[in-house]
Amino acid sequence: MTVPAWPSDKGFVLADGFEDTFGRLTDRSEVDTGPAKQRRVTTAAAQRAAFTVMLTSEERAWLRDFFNGDAAGGAVWFEWTHPVELVVVQARFLSDEPPSYTPWKPDWLAKISLEYRF
């Protein structure tokens, strides 16, 4: 089975509001006295990216079809070129934050939230 890919020519990621969050690698436990305890629980936590993409009407239709089809609403990992690192990573949409659109004449702004891994 071929891994789906988000083509690098679909949409323009806006730098304004781009947020990249490191994965959570530790668990924290409160104790009765003294500082809380923390321990590492994984070395491979997915990172998160939240950003806005400027899309034409044609690209907006493509994103809708990609989300509902190849990406299976966030269930399937796909290849995505990270706009800051400029490397291809495995990503998927967050199930509790599906893409949303707002008009931005003559185009559209789509808010996207992904988790990704290198």
Q: What is the pTM of this model?
A: 0.85
Which tokens sit at 98? Answer: 């599906």
**Amino acid 112: pLDDT:** 97
Domain ranges across the chain:
12-117
Report how far apart, in Å, the C-alpha atoms of 96 and of each of 15, 37, 93, 100, 106 are.
Answer: 23, 30, 9, 12, 29
- Do the bridges between strand 78-81 and strand 47-55 make them parallel or antiparallel, or are there none, so unpaired? unpaired
d(CA 54, CA 83): 14
Query: Yes or no: is domain 12-117 CATH 1.10.1760?
Result: no
pLDDT tens for residues 22-77?
888 788 889 899 898 888 887 788 999 999 999 999 999 999 999 999 999 999 99
**Amino acid 1: pLDDT:** 66
pLDDT tens for residues 69-116?
999 999 999 999 999 999 999 999 999 999 999 999 889 999 999 999
